[in-house]
A and B are shown apart, each in its own frame.
Chain A
Amino acid sequence: MSVLLKLTNVAVFVGDTCLLEPISLELKQGQPLTILGQTGSGKSLLAQAIMGLLPDTLSFQGDIEVFGKALTLEQRQALWGRDLVMLPQEPWHALDPLMKGINQVAEVYQHVQGKSQNDAQASAQQDLLDVGLADSAHKRPGQLSGGMAQRLAISAATAGGAHVILADEPTKGLDVSRRDGIVRLLQSRSIEGSLLTITHDVAIARQLGGSLLVMKQGRLVEQGDALDVLTNPQNHYTRELIAAEPKSWPDVSVALANKTTETVLVAENLAIERGGRTLFENVSFSINKGEVVGVVGDSGCGKSSLGDALLGLLPVSAGLVTRSNHTAKPYQWLKLYQDPPSAFTSSVSLGTLLKDLVDLHNIAQERIVPLMTRLNLPESILQRTCLDVSGGELQRFAILRALLLDPVFLFADEPTSRLDPITAKDVTNLLVELARETGCAVLMVSHDPDLVRKTCDTVITL
């Protein structure tokens, strides 16, 4: 097996601060390599350093050998497209918004491979057919779904003939059902060379196999054969990462028999339309006090719209939503948002926001401290604004605000999808626990079927 890529003590600095501690690795022919770690662990910097794409503000040390030769930055840049290529994180941003999909592939055949315009178009057409995009060849990226855009980006990236592929979070923001397809496509494209993947997703690391490196905050913590490491992790952090995968969560759903039968809300034959398209119809269910109901489905299927409709934030096109609890005030039907920072104003501190709420509803002061302790929120975050606290803290603060109002129903719209897996696990568990204790009904929307299966008592699939 020949070594395609060899890194010796590669490190990245901003000024004197080390962002990525010295790391050495080898990418071998036919043996994929995966780097696993949370956001902010410096793994994207590694890919940029290999390509020669580090921003000017960052400096770089160490040696990079490609195909057995130590190459300078310019020499590596000369390999782009023909031998070495990097897939972007966000395919929508990586594709020219004004150019039709097929032309973004064809231009590589024409300008990199030197084919004639007609041949290039034909090759591109064939490529798109292979990845199931033949019908969307003449669409612009804005008209494609995330999965389609990623397939287009992979076709464009590999059209130049490169077999050494670096993929930086190639499945970010994609539905679970689309994820496998992308991974298989990447595997088939790198069959003659090799694939270096950077991901935070344990499932992808498992699927890709090969060798695995686990990184935490710019430092390598564990490496070895992927299956070995994942089945028998040695490092504490690796174990935590694996345990944070919804698949390995403890099952906290409650069997039907143990529940109260006091109904909070009934939905009958609901249908929702958006932009002239029917998202779903004939959906009926009821939610009981203290029950956690999960909603799963691919993006765009109307999961979030369903929750908004239950809260009266969106009109339904057919059917009926009945609130059975008549004593509850309007402000006891609440929502938790997907992106925590967007759900708060940054104009004042979190403390002021909390005080606003306490003053408005005459909430007893003595309830706050115990609940904050329970949610693991330090007192000090009250002095800060929503921009200065972490996403996990902010989502817990959102739960705090909601619980202070004694909600009867809480719609949690992918409350942890923007959080890293370890935090996501904590926040989800806390939310479910507290909802059960207080008797608040929860509608939890998620793109991850595992997460819903482990935490929710009932599951609605759209």
Chain B
Amino acid sequence: MKAMLLKRVLQLVTVVWGVGTLTFILMRSLPGDMAYRIAASRYGQDNVNSEAAALVRQELNLDQGAFAAYWHWLLDLLQFNLGHSLVSGLPVIDAIQHMLGHSLLLALAGLLVSILIAVPVGLFCAWRGNPLDSIFMGLSSMIRAMPVFVLGVLFILLFALHWNWFPVAGFGTPAHLVLPALTLALSLAAVSNRVVRDSAKHTFQAAFYQFSKVKGLSAWQTFRRHGVRNIAVPVVAFFGIQLVSMIEGIVMIESLFSWPGIGHGLAHAIFARDIPVIQGAALVMGVLFVALNTLVDMLCLWIDPRGVREA
């Protein structure tokens, strides 16, 4: 437990350092006067004049070397001084807060729906076997072969443009959430339903599962007392692995559906080379990723106290 938390703290530090370093390199690779750009990123586009730029130049020793400037850059970051957007001039922290709420809503909705699909389908496939199992197997393979954005484009074409059931893009009403959440959920469930199914099948065939029935417990009692928890162990551990797909999926889906979350913000900022926003968005994603991983670790430990999951 301690080793696990220590590892996560270390990861958190490296996320901050990694994002800071990459965005610093990005800042230096841009053409033009760097002092001016940094001043703009700190105080907002409207408040920049040559005086502010000179101040920055002096403070960061920009004339002297990259190292000092890098040091100051990281120091700013450690104080959560994320600065202002180069495009809108607004403080990055406000934009991030706004985006984070939307992303979390989408993630939570997607995850919930994916569980609602994957768990019953997986259990049913393990329980009934063929031909249902093969049908769902084929279906899952097909969905898995489609990148998230292809799946999303298909949904937009069918449900939004062809049948007009849901809005194409944007946000505001619950109807706006349906297609993005469904896209995310299906892409996640196509993988996780197989994990549920494999785990359930494995448990149903386990010697202890049979022994429970031999002891005299009914099928339902056996499932409730020995099935659920043992099936859950690999499934919950898999959610940790799927976090990567989820965050990557969110980046793509938000861009596709113009959902104003972190992923959409990040992609836009990269396109516009709005470095403070890139830094803020990447940072929040990294921190969120590490935090969610920690949560999965603890959940795993709670379900299966025998050991900590790998990686």
The reply to whether A and B meet directly (CB within 8 Å) is: yes
Determine chain B's interface SS by DSSP, over half rule. Answer: helix
Pick the contact of A53 from B210, B225, B230 — CB < 8 Å? B210
* Residue A360 interfacial (CB < 8 Å): no
Binds A, one of B26-34, B69-77, B130-138, B212-220: B212-220
Q: How far is the CA of A108 from the CA of B212 in the complex (A)?
A: 9
Cβ A112 vs Cβ B233 within 8 A: no
Q: Check A95 against B306 for contact (C-beta < 8 Å).
A: no
CB distance from A95 to the nearest CB of B (A): 6
Cβ of A172 < 8 Å from any Cβ of B?
no
CA distance A96 to B203 in the complex (A): 10
Q: How large is the interface on A (under 10, 10 to 19, 20 to 34, 35 or more residues)?
A: 20 to 34
A418: CB under 8 A from chain B? no
Indicate if the CB atoms of A98 and B214 lie closer than 8 Å.
no
Question: Contact at A94–B216, with CB atoms within 8 Å?
Answer: no
Determine whether the beta carbon of B207 is less than 8 Å from that of A140: no
Check: A46 CB closer than 8 A to any chain B CB. no
A81, B215: Cβ atoms under 8 Å? yes
- Evaluate contact between A108 and B211: CB separation under 8 angstroms: no
From A90, A95, A157, B214 is in contact (CB under 8 Å) with: A157
What is the CB-to-nearest-CB distance from A92 to chain B, in angstroms, rounded to a whole number? 9
Residues of the B chain whose Cβ atoms lie less than 8 Å from the Cβ of A82? 216
Q: How far is the CA of A248 from the CA of B62 in the complex (A)?
A: 91
Within 8 A of B (CB), among A81-140: 81-82, 85-86, 88, 90, 93-99, 107-108, 111-112, 140
- Which among B206, B208, B225, B226 has the greatest number of chain A C-beta atoms within 10 A? B208
Evaluate contact between B215 and A160: CB separation under 8 angstroms.
yes
The listed residue with most B CB atoms (<10 A of its CB), out of A96, A99, A160, is: A96
B212 adjacent to A96 (CB under 8 Å):
yes
**Nearest A residue (CB) for B307:** A142
Picked from A53, A90, A111, A140, the residue with its CB within 8 Å of the CB of B216 is: A111
Residues of B within 8 A of A81 (CB): 214-217
Look across to chain A and name the residue whose beta carbon is closest to the beta carbon of B232.
Answer: A98
Report if A51 contacts B (CB, 8 A). Answer: yes
Contact residues of A between 339 and 358, Cβ < 8 Å to B: none
How many whole Å from B60's CB to the nearest CB in chain A? 53
Assess whether B214 is in contact with A93, with CB atoms less than 8 Å apart.
no
Q: Nearest-CB distance from A82 to chain B (Å)? A: 6
B242 cross-chain contacts in A, Cβ below 8 A: none
In the complex where A80-B216, A112-B217 touch, is A153 in contact with B306 (Cβ < 8 A)? no
| Residues in chain B near residue A142, CB distance under 8 A | 306
- Residues of chain B touching chain A, judged by Cβ–Cβ distance below 8 Å, are 206-208, 210-218, 221, 225-226, 229-230, 233, 303-306
Which residues of A pack against B, CB within 8 Å?
Answer: 51, 53, 77, 80-82, 85-86, 88, 90, 93-99, 107-108, 111-112, 140, 142, 153, 156-157, 159-160, 162
